[in-house]
Structure formats: structure tokens, C-alpha cells
A and B are shown apart, each in its own frame.
Chain A
Amino acid sequence: MLIAENLTKIYGQQTALWQLNLEIKAGEIFALLGQNGAGKTTTIHCLLGFILPTEGAAYINGLEVTKNLTVARKQVAYIPETVMLYPNLTGAENLAFFSSLAGFKYSTNELEAYLTYAGLQAEAHHRRLGGYSKGMRQKVGIAIAVAKQVKALLLDEPTSGLDPKAANEFSSILKNMAEKGTAILMATHDIFRAKEIADRIGIMKEGNLVSIIKASSVTTHALEELYLQMV
């Protein structure tokens, strides 16, 4: 579903990403671990078509992203580290707006259902976003991603800054989506979370994907040691 082929991004003298090869199948959760600046976000941005790769290509559902931007974007959803939305609109209105950007039109009931599914308490649905906490905004972000009904989901450190309970709920939503056949790529610092929900874990260092580990093959402790060794 998500394919990176020799994906390379060079800014001037600096190599942000070097010949990354990766394939994530439908229903699979793939976690990217690595320090700041290791190339995780660059990978995600290339897959989203936010940036042009210097070399190589990114594919979503068999379509090369940069050449089929419009169609490719329709098939992928994205949740950034901090979901920022319009503070003057309510949660439901934000969801309605972003869905309509993607070409979906939902009734109020449907909007509420998505928000509830994403874990946002009902009383907040029609409050303006200006008063939301970070976790609440993140949930609206999830609702937007879910409502887009996509085959691939890209997440950039989505649980950082969330309290443990919210992070937990978040994990179960991701698992649920994967079970329905969504390919998920998640960049994270959180080794424990990665081990818990991912099928495979990739470790990145200085733009290179140095290792891919099957999550079920290691314990959390072993994964941590491995990570510290590599980076």
C-alpha cells in the first residue's frame, strides 16, 4: 500500500534521507523510531507529497505520489505531532470543513459519530476549538483522518504530549483501523508504544533506515537496548 523506493532527499550539503526502501502492506502498522533529525518526518512528508524527493519515488496504492498528487492525496490521511485547527470553529465544524476539503459531506449525526469514535466527549463536539486541550485537538485530528476513509494513514509522533490514558485509547483506535485494512506508518520516539502496537519497527539514523525488526520477535527491553546501540 505504502512504498518508498530509493527515497532520497538532500538539502544542499545535508542529506536528510538516503535511499530509503520500505513497503507497508494493507492492515500493517509500521513504526519508525529514531532521534530528532533522523529522517522520520522527511519520509512522511515525501509520502504525502509535501516535498519532492531528490531521488527515488514514493507510492501510495501503486500510484507515484508526485505524479498523481491529487489522486494519491485522496488515499492517505495524516495526523501531525500537534493537530492545529481553526480556533473559531467547533470540533464538529472543523471536522466538517476538513472532510469537505477531501470531498466528503457528512450529516451532523455522522460527524458526531466520527468524533465519538475518535474518543472526543459529546459535550465538546459543539464547542469552539479555541478552548480545547491538546489531547482533544488530537482526537479531532483522528476523527478527520478516520472520516477520510483512506487506505493509508501517516502519523508524525501523534502521541507525544498525550496523557497515558489518551495515548492508550489512541493506540486501540489505530489497531482497529489496521484490522479494517488500513496501512499505517507512524513516526515516534516512544519505544514502548511502538512495540505495543506496531507489526514492524524501523530504526532510522542520519537519514538511513538502519534496521527493521518484527515487533513480535523482541521484548520491549531488548528493543530499547537495540535502539540505544544503533543510534
Chain B
Amino acid sequence: MTRLLLKNFVRAKGLMLGLLLLFIAGCISLYIGHRFIEQNKETVEQSAHFQQENIERYVEYNQSSIGTLLYYLRFGLVHQAPHLVGLAIGQRDINPSVISVNIRNLEEQKYTSALMNPMYQLLGNMDFSFVLLYFFPLIIIAFCYNLVSEEKEEGIWDMILSQTAQPLQMLSIKLGIRFASVMGVLLLLLTLAGLGLNIPLDKAFVSFCLVAIVYVVFWFCLTCLVISFHLSSSQNALVLLLSWISLTLILPASVHALSTYLYPIPEAYGTVLESRDGYHTQWDKPKEPTIAQFHAQYPQFSSYNHPSDQEFSWLWYFAMQQMGDQHAANDAKVLAEKLRARGAFSQAMGWVIPTIHTQLSLNSLSQSDLLHHLHFLEALEDFHEDKRLYFYPKIFENAAVAEEDWSDFGLAFHQKPLEISGAQTVLPPLLASFLLLFLARMNWRMKMFIEKN
């Protein structure tokens, strides 16, 4: 029977075309991912090259003053992306993957954005996660919406019922074939992704695959529930399409709107204004309090002081710059906190809305989500601070520029060690799937006798 049902499935041109389209869409998405990784790599290489060139040039011009030199020099920190990012680009196309900072005020440099055609962000990246989230359910719906109703509408159902009292077995085979074919395409695509994008078979990739599989399982369970109501093909199609729209468009968009409403971030603008004023107003103020505050923050530099006979010193200048960061510190902290709160809120909603959960999990595993970016910004703060602490004494002592080996200052790299909370990664949609399947079973049993009319 399986063989015959398989034959029937394979001979349906529409279904095969659907699988083919799904596969092609998947391949396109992998190509897009591949291109993104390459671009990213190129950006990093360019940044490294550019930084080297930049340092060499400024060192050449500014042999006399290390303070002037470090006014200009910029050091890049790379937010390293695992190759998995090619499958879920997430926020990586909005947030830059390299940020180059000088040792002045950090707040003015931290939030710089990447160059991107907003039209593409509006239409969205067609990365693998998009294909998974949108196209797979559509194909599943197209494959299953008339699983029973087709036979009924074509008049085959009576023949089947007269031959057996257990049509469920045959339906499970039909469903199984469809499930296997969709899963086959998914696994094929993931294999291709692993090979084509050079994704190592590590914990992150395995979890990524699991999330994808569970998502597909969820949609099969949802379609099972809908078809267990024995509606007509048109009604099934409508109900499933509405579920698709709600789950992939309306609910995520509503959760997003709700999160921005619940956690408004006026502090974002605040960081800009405060850091600007914090620094610039120091020019018009007496120097002593500025330097005292600098000393309070860095007791190790207490021995350095502004020479009273001079109008300007680098100590004073960098102390002023430091004030910019200090003034904006509170807003910056609140900004990060609220962003985290937005993240936590959506994550919580993911427990009940599998599409949200899947998208967030995939982004998180490929380190392209907001939380990873925030983590990167924290690393950037540390990086910036390290550079400051390294150069401050040299500047204050006006060390000779030539003493430093400037070729040592290549790009630095940051990558957060992978944290996978096992249960959280796949549990919510898995629970939803079980619930749906259970309901479908119950419903089916109730409708075992196919009442006419």
C-alpha cells in the first residue's frame, strides 16, 4: 500500500513542482547566505587592511606627538560570525560586524550603522530561516489541506471506507509520505548548507537543525488538527492559510509592536545628546574639576596632572572626552537594559507562538540576534577601555611614537562562546506539536463515523 500511495504522490505533478520550488527557494537562500558570509569576510579583510594602512599613514605624519596620533587612530573590533549566520542573517545586516573606534568618547562611535539599501530590509532577506519560516509551512499546507477532503470530494472516500474500517492507517501512510518528502528536502538543504557554507557539525548546527525539524513537525501537527475537522478542501485551505498569516505575519508583528510600546527607548536619543554635551561643555569650564573626576575614575593616573602653565594638555583633553561617556553612561545603561527587556519579552512570547520561537532560536544559534549584538557592544566597551588604559600612560608621558610597534595593532575579534539552553531551544514548539496532535487524535475519534449531512 505504501508503494502505491507513494506512486500516487509522485505522479501528482503539482506536488512534485511544489517540492522542486521549495528546493530551489532553499538553494537561492543558501546562495544568499553564502554571499553574505563572503561579504562579511571581505569586510573584515578590508577593515584589517584599511586599519593597517591608516595606522601607518598617521604614524608617519605624527612622529612628534603620540597624543595627536591617538586622536586619530582607530582600532577595529570584529563581531565574528559563525558560518551558521549564512542560514539566519537576522540582525546582522543592520548591525555592523566591524566597529572601528578611536580612544575618544565611545558613545559617539558605538551605535554607528551599516550601509544598506532599506528597500531590502523592508522586503526582507531571503535567507534560509525565511524559507523555513514561510515557504515550508506553505508547502506543508499545500500538501495536506486536502488529505481527506480530496478523497471525499472526488468520491473515493466511500470506496475506501467500504474496504476498511480503519482509514486512519492509510491516512497516516499518506501523511507519512508527505512528511518524509518535506523532511527530505529540509535535510537535503541542511546537508547542502553544511557542505556549501562550510558549517562545522557542532552543537550549534545540530541544534539549528533540530529547531528547523521541530518547526516542520509543528506545522504538520497543525495541519493534522485542521484536517481532523473534516471540512471541505476550500475551508481547510482557508483555515490553514489564515493560521499561516496569523502565525507568520500578524502575531510576530503584534508582539513586536507591543514590545516597542511596553519598552519605549527615548534614552537612545539621550545617549547622543548627553555624550555630546558631556564632552563639549568641558571646554568652557575650569579644568580642575574635570581632571579631578578623571583621577577619581582612574586613581592609577593620579600622578599625572595638567601642567598649570599650559592652555592645553592631552590629559585634560582625554579627561574631557571621558566626561562624554560618563554623562551618557546612565542613558546607555538604560538603553541596553530596555533592549534586553524587549528581547526577553519576545522570547517569552515565543513559548506560545512557535514562529517567534523558531526565528529567535535560529538567530540566537547563528549569533545574529539582538542579544549577541548587545554582548558585542559590551565587548566593544571593554576593548575600548583596554586601549585607553594601554595608551593613557604613554600619552600622558608623551612617549616616543617610534617606541611602539604599530604593526601589532591589527583587528581584534570577539565571539561569544556558544550557550545553548537545551530545553528552551526546542521545547516550546515541541509541546505545541504534541498538544495539537493529541487534539487531532481526539477530534478524529469523535468523527470516526462519517455522518452524511
Q: Is the CB of B154 within 8 A of A49?
A: no
Shortest CB-to-CB span from B444 to chain A, Å, is 15
Judged by DSSP, the binding face of A is mixed
Interface centre among B5, B11, B165, B166, by most A CB within 10 Å? Answer: B165
Q: Is the CB of A51 within 8 A of B4?
A: no
Q: A50-B450, A52-B451 are in contact. Are A100 and B4 (CB under 8 A)?
A: yes
Question: Looking at the complex, which of B114-122, B156-164, B354-362 is the stretch in contact with chain A?
Answer: B156-164
Count of chain A residues with a beta carbon within 8 Å of a chain B beta carbon: 36
Task: List the A side residues contacting B1 at CB < 8 Å.
Answer: 97, 100-101
Q: Which residue of B lies closest to A94 (CB)?
A: B4
Q: Is the CB of A144 within 8 A of B159?
A: yes
Task: List the B side residues contacting A93 at CB < 8 Å.
Answer: 4, 7
Q: Report if A122 contacts B (CB, 8 A).
A: no
Q: A78-B159, A101-B1, A144-B163 are in contact. Are A89 and B8 (CB under 8 A)?
A: yes
Q: Which residue of A lies closest to B2 (CB)?
A: A100
Tell me, in angstroms, the Cα distance from A175 to B162 when the chains sit together: 21
Q: Which residue of A lies closest to B1 (CB)?
A: A100
Task: List the B side residues contacting A185 at CB < 8 Å.
Answer: none
Q: Mark A135-159, 1 if CB is under 8 A from B, else 0.
A: 0000001001000100000100000
- Number of interchain pairs (Cβ within 8 Å): 80
Task: List the A side residues contacting B160 at CB < 8 Å.
Answer: 98, 101
Tell me, in angstroms, the Cα distance from A141 to B164 when the chains sit together: 15
Judged by DSSP, the binding face of B is helix
Q: Is the CB of B162 within 8 A of A51?
A: no
Q: Report if A223 contacts B (CB, 8 A).
A: no
Task: List the A side residues contacting B452 at CB < 8 Å.
Answer: 45, 50-51
Shortest CB-to-CB span from B171 to chain A, Å, is 11
Task: List the B side residues contacting A212 at CB < 8 Å.
Answer: none
Task: List the B side residues contacting A100 at CB < 8 Å.
Answer: 1, 4
Q: Is the CB of A11 within 8 A of B156?
A: no
Q: Report if A201 contacts B (CB, 8 A).
A: no
Q: Is the CB of B155 within 8 A of A82?
A: yes
Q: Report if A86 contacts B (CB, 8 A).
A: yes
Q: Which residue of B lies closest to A85 (CB)?
A: B156
Q: A80-B155, A83-B159, A84-B156 are in contact. Are A102 and B164 (CB under 8 A)?
A: yes
- A and B contact pairs by CB, cutoff 8 A, 16 listed: A48-B162, A49-B165, A50-B161, A52-B451, A70-B165, A73-B161, A73-B165, A76-B162, A78-B162, A84-B154, A88-B12, A101-B163, A102-B163, A128-B11, A141-B159, A144-B163
Point out residues on B near A: beta carbons under 8 Å: 1, 4-5, 7-8, 11-12, 154-156, 158-166, 170, 449-453
